[in-house]
Structure 1
C-alpha cells in the first residue's frame, strides 16, 4: 500500500486515524489478544512502518488501544522486562520512555 507512494505526515495521520477507528469499531467487545492483533486494520497499521511510531506512542499516552504488539513488530524491539509484562501502566511508560530516548516526538 505504501511502498511506491510518498505520503505527507498529514496523509499518514489521516490513514492511521481511519484504521484506528475501523479497528476499534470492529473489535469492540473482543478480548482475545490474537483476534485484536490479527485484525486487518491493525495489520495495515503495522504495515505503515516506522512513520506511525509517533502516532502509536501518542495512542499509548492517551491510554487507548493495545499497541504494544504493533510497536514491537515495527521497531523489532521489546523494551519490556519479563517481570513487568501484563502491567499495562508500566508497559506504557516504558514504551514512552523508549520513544523519547530514540528521538520520537508525538
Structure 2
C-alpha cells in the first residue's frame, strides 16, 4: 500500500473516531454506541482498520471489541473474561501480535 493511501486511511479513521467520541459523550449503551454511523463506517473500512483499532484499544481502550469482532469474524476473548475490559483488551492485543499486525 502506498504511503499516500495509508495516510488517507489513517486520516479517515481518526476523523471517524473523533466524531464517534464527541457524539457519544454520556451514552452508556454499548449497542447505541456501536450502531452510531461513524462506528459503522469504521467497521466498513474493513481489514485496513484492524491495526488502527488495536492502536486505539492499546492507547485509550474504548469500545472497539464489537468492531474488531465484526471485521475479523473472530473473538479471542475467553468466556471467563467477557465483561472485563482490561482482560478483553489484553486478549485482542495478543491476538493482533500473533496475527502479525503492527500498530
TM-score bracket, shorter-length normalisation: over 0.9
In structure 2, runs of 5+ residues without a counterpart are none
Aligned pairs for 1:63-74 (under 5 A) are 63-74=60-71
Matched, 1:36 2:2: no
In structure 1, runs of 5+ residues without a counterpart are 1-6
- C-alpha RMSD over aligned residues: 0.9
Structure-2 residue corresponding to 1:13: 10
Normalised to the residue count of structure 1, the TM-score between the two structures is: 0.92
More helix by share: 2
Normalised to the residue count of structure 2, the TM-score between the two structures is: 0.94
**Equivalents in 2 of 1:43, 1:63: separation in Å?**
19
Structure-2 residue corresponding to 1:3: none
**Equivalents in 1 of 2:34, 2:13: separation in Å?**
15
Structure 1 runs (4+) deviating above 6 angstroms are none
**Equivalents in 1 of 2:17, 2:102: separation in Å?**
19
Structure-2 residue corresponding to 1:25: 22
